[in-house]
Chains A and B, each alone.
Chain A
Amino acid sequence: MEPEPRARTTALIDRRGLQALIEALADEGYRVVGPTRRDDAIVYDDLADLDDLPAGWTEHQEAGRYRLVARDDQALFGYAVGPHAWKRFLHPPVETLWTAQRDEHGLTFRSPEPAEERFAFLGVRACELQAIAIQDRVFLEGPHVDAGYGARRREAFIVAVNCGEAGGTCFCVSMQTGPRAESGFDLALTELLEADRHDFLVEVGSPAGAALLERLPHRKAGGADHRAADAVVARTASRMGRELETQGLKALLQDNPEHPRWDDVAERCLTCGNCTMVCPTCFCTTVEDHSDLAGTRAERVRLWDSCFTLDFSYLHGGSVRQSPRSRYRQWMTHKLASWIDQFGTSGCVGCGRCITWCPTGIDITEEAAVIRATAPQRRDP
């Protein structure tokens, strides 16, 4: 039986088509960024051509552990997510907000010229699309819109990739954010690597995506291609490294601020902030004001910050969250519970980065499971 006809336009491209995609994006003035191998990891960096993709590599991820491993095939997207997230580009780690100059006429404030950079992201995973959607809500909704983020976001061209491998710390199925890219992309690819072919099923997600596809050598996708792509995603979905029960999770965490597990996790927490730095939705920043020696020039710089620093909760007279216990509890309950009060969705997309990149391997899914298993009482719904 043929599958239901898809709502989206689809096509097939091969590796030449993918090379043409990178070239077409560069030709249209995009800075093409995607997965590449560096420092024994798969990071996001500039791509000049297809050879920059990590062909034939995958990774083993566990709590506090990441190792690159060679595959026995030449898959271009045969891995999950690495240490970088796209927020590095849309919400840069360091950004000058304004500079001020003092002269005989007084003070002059200047905002730096917005960068003209237009990003094309190649290889955005479903969980990452959800993370971008969450940061869109944070930065673009409400009364205080982040203009720089808005400009970068508006200009960005997104090529999603449906995951062909689940990482050891992945749990997007639990968070209902993947492994299939459902929306928020211009084009979405599914890698079809079989004995006699290496193709990519392309789904069109926007008019810009449709226009770009027209520039690439492509052919019609048939029912067998669609079934093969569905099988790739289904296989990945069945191989999640982690799971997180979300039913009643918000109430569970908000009702148990005194659970003894918080003391247990505090024994392992370094308060180093790595989980927040690698999280694709963590958005907090601090500002630093600098003045020069002569007192004629000043600037305000915005930097990625973390709720694990003492300064983060500094109010008049001291920091509110002195203990590691209070800081880990704040981060986890915000991410999984009060984020829902604040923004309408969970702050977690199930990418597993906080688990992999915690130097002591603290596992948010395990912490939640233990609290669930040992919580004294559940609040009535």
Chain B
Amino acid sequence: MAEPTRPRLAVWKFASCDGCQLSLLDCEDELLAVDEALDIAYFPEASSAMVEGPYTLSLVEGSITTAHDVARIREVRAQSRHLVTIGACATAGGIQALRNFADVDDFVAAVYASPDYIATLATSTPISAHVAVDFELQGCPINKVQLLEVLSAFLAGRRPAIAAHSVCIECKRRGNVCVMVQGTPCLGPVTHAGCGALCPAYRRGCYGCYGPMETPRTAALAREWQALGVAPREIRHAFRSFNAGAEAFREESEAHDDQAT
């Protein structure tokens, strides 16, 4: 009945592991509500029925790693009224952005039997480096509750209630005891909230899966890690994971480059 007016949703994959788009399928209890509110027109991970564009809302997972990707994301943008990127690959280049710190040809030569079959870019870059993005939902993987919030906000025409502050604030709300003050290095103070402070709740330091928070004070945190006895090389590795390509994390990892042992 409401079908003709439902906004048309498309879900796109670039260089990624599919985990973030699976977050949408993971919305088991809410999946029918998603389907009622949105016309899921293009979502190859879920359905072989693929409706052509244009689309009202595109969710984009993955980073740009090939010339083909560069052309394809422009086409996606052209067909989408709103474009939201989901996950660390799409918002920061993902783990595959580690190539940005080395020569990709060396990797290709080391991994593939016939390197000449491989056509890839020298870097892995976020979607926002190529086209205009209306909203970025950070996380590796994204939190499905936050994804539903973004979709609900889009449908209501309001701003998504996605806080950009540190993990510490949600960690403290949860009542966790700060692992960093107890001697465990933690990236929580520079990391974007959204996971619910999952690792500190289990007495682990934060790995920074949600990327940089709004004002990441990475240098001040790195000094404190050093005071806790963390070697520069380990600091570099900590900032070089799923969000290695995010500017603040990239810069901090590079600051510990020349001291590597």
| A interface list, Cβ under 8 A from B | 38-41, 43, 64-67, 82-84, 88, 93-94, 267-274, 277-278, 288-295, 303-306, 308-311, 324, 356-361
Q: Which residues of A contact B148 (CB under 8 A)?
A: 293
Q: Is the pair A293, B36 in contact by a Cβ cutoff of 8 Å?
A: yes
Q: Is the pair A274, B149 in contact by a Cβ cutoff of 8 Å?
A: no
Given A288-B161, A311-B165, A324-B215, residue A270 in contact with residue B221 (CB < 8 A)? yes
B95 CB-CB contact with A under 8 Å? no
Checking B36, B149, B164, B173 against A311 with a beta-carbon cut-off of 8 angstroms, the contacting residue is B164
Given A309-B163, A309-B169, A359-B221, residue A41 in contact with residue B177 (CB < 8 A)? yes
Checking B161, B182, B224 against A40 with a beta-carbon cut-off of 8 angstroms, the contacting residue is B182
| B interface list, Cβ under 8 A from A | 30, 33-34, 36-38, 148-149, 151-153, 155-156, 158, 161, 163-166, 168-169, 172-178, 180-183, 186, 188-190, 203, 214-215, 217, 220-221, 223-224
CB distance from A283 to the nearest CB of B (A): 14
Q: Is the pair B220, A270 in contact by a Cβ cutoff of 8 Å?
A: yes
Q: Which residues of A contact B178 (CB under 8 A)?
A: 66, 83, 274, 357, 359
CB distance from B254 to the nearest CB of A (A): 19
Checking B153, B156, B220 against A360 with a beta-carbon cut-off of 8 angstroms, the contacting residue is B220
How far apart are the CA atoms of A357 and B182 in the complex, in Å?
Answer: 9
How far apart are the CA atoms of A64 and B112 in the complex, in Å?
Answer: 48
Q: Is the pair B215, A271 in contact by a Cβ cutoff of 8 Å?
A: yes
Q: Is the pair B181, A66 in contact by a Cβ cutoff of 8 Å?
A: yes
Q: Is the pair A291, B152 in contact by a Cβ cutoff of 8 Å?
A: yes
Residue of B whose beta carbon sits closest to that of A68: B182
Q: Is the interface of A mostly helix, strand, loop or mixed?
A: loop
How far apart are the CA atoms of A341 and B178 in the complex, in Å?
Answer: 33
Checking A41, A277, A294 against B173 with a beta-carbon cut-off of 8 angstroms, the contacting residue is A277
Q: Is the pair B161, A65 in contact by a Cβ cutoff of 8 Å?
A: no
Checking B36, B177, B188, B217 against A83 with a beta-carbon cut-off of 8 angstroms, the contacting residue is B177
Q: Is the pair A65, B181 in contact by a Cβ cutoff of 8 Å?
A: yes
Given A277-B168, A310-B164, A311-B164, residue A268 in contact with residue B215 (CB < 8 A)? no
Q: Is the pair A324, B177 in contact by a Cβ cutoff of 8 Å?
A: no
A-B contact pairs, 21 of them (CB 8 A): A64-B181, A67-B183, A83-B177, A83-B178, A93-B174, A268-B220, A270-B220, A271-B215, A277-B168, A277-B173, A278-B172, A288-B161, A291-B155, A293-B30, A293-B155, A294-B33, A309-B214, A310-B214, A311-B165, A359-B178, A359-B181
How far apart are the CA atoms of A186 and B37 in the complex, in Å?
Answer: 55
Q: Is the pair A272, B189 in contact by a Cβ cutoff of 8 Å?
A: yes
CB distance from B156 to the nearest CB of A (A): 5
Q: Which residues of A contact B155 (CB under 8 A)?
A: 291, 293, 295
CB distance from A279 to the nearest CB of B (A): 10
Checking B34, B166, B223 against A271 with a beta-carbon cut-off of 8 angstroms, the contacting residue is B166
Residue of A whose beta carbon sits closest to that of B224: A360
Q: Which residues of B contact A67 (CB under 8 A)?
A: 182-183
Residue of B whose beta carbon sits closest to that of A305: B169
Q: Which 10 A-B pairs have the closest CB atoms?
A: A277-B172, A272-B189, A93-B173, A288-B161, A270-B189, A293-B37, A272-B168, A309-B165, A272-B166, A41-B177
How far apart are the CA atoms of A290 and B151 in the complex, in Å?
Answer: 11
CB distance from A119 to the nearest CB of B (A): 15
CB distance from B178 to the nearest CB of A (A): 6
Q: Is the pair A274, B165 in contact by a Cβ cutoff of 8 Å?
A: no
